[in-house]
Amino acid sequence: MAHYEVTPRIAFTGLLTYERPEATAWITGNTNNPQISGLVKFYQTSYGGVLVEAEFFGLPSIDEPNSSDFYAMHIHEFGSCRGNFDSAGGHYNPGNMPHPMHAGDMLPLLANQGYAWMSFYDKRFTIEEIIGKSVIIHSASDDFKSQPAGNSGTRIACGEIKKTY
């Protein structure tokens, strides 16, 4: 019989399959992108970090057959998604770190014909720290160099991070 090690991936798969996230952000598009919708889930892990799962529909490349495109995804300071989402403030950056080392800098989304799904592990923030903040989707990919926010284009979708009860 083969010997299998329990790795973080196995634990993370269990979280995603069987557990309820501790926080979520329901994402909606701005007035120019009302077709965008999505959900970002945040799970506490036994490894001291947070597992993030994100799924989006209707990203701008949806009408381009066989298309793929990258979009930046960040946690922003405030949970306000009014108007053009400027009320969400800048990137969540409690350590005053340069970009892309902010706690709010997340992996880019790769959308295929408007759909994107991803999951990743992060130890730069806790769930308690991000409750009341927002997740912003930007119109372009993050260049991971430009200060203070990666030259990632306009804010096209937003959702407040709320504790799951």
> Domain 8-163, what fold?
Immunoglobulin-like (2.60.40)
Decide if pLDDT at 6 tops 70: yes
- The predicted pLDDT at position 151 comes to 86
Question: Which residue has tokens 């160099």?
Answer: 145
Decide if pLDDT at 75 tops 80: yes
Q: How many whole angstroms separate alpha carbon 116 and alpha carbon 58?
A: 9
pTM of the model: 0.92
Burial annotation 5-25 (CB, 10 A radius, 16+ → b, else e): eeeeeeebeebeeeeebbbbb
Q: Structural domain boundaries of the chain?
A: 8-163
State percent of the chain over pLDDT 70: 96
pLDDT tens digits for range 8-47: 999 999 999 999 999 999 999 999 999 999 999 999 999 9
Decide if pLDDT at 1 tops 70: no
Least confident of 24-28, 69-73, 142-146, 159-163: 142-146
Q: How many whole angstroms separate alpha carbon 127 and alpha carbon 164?
A: 11
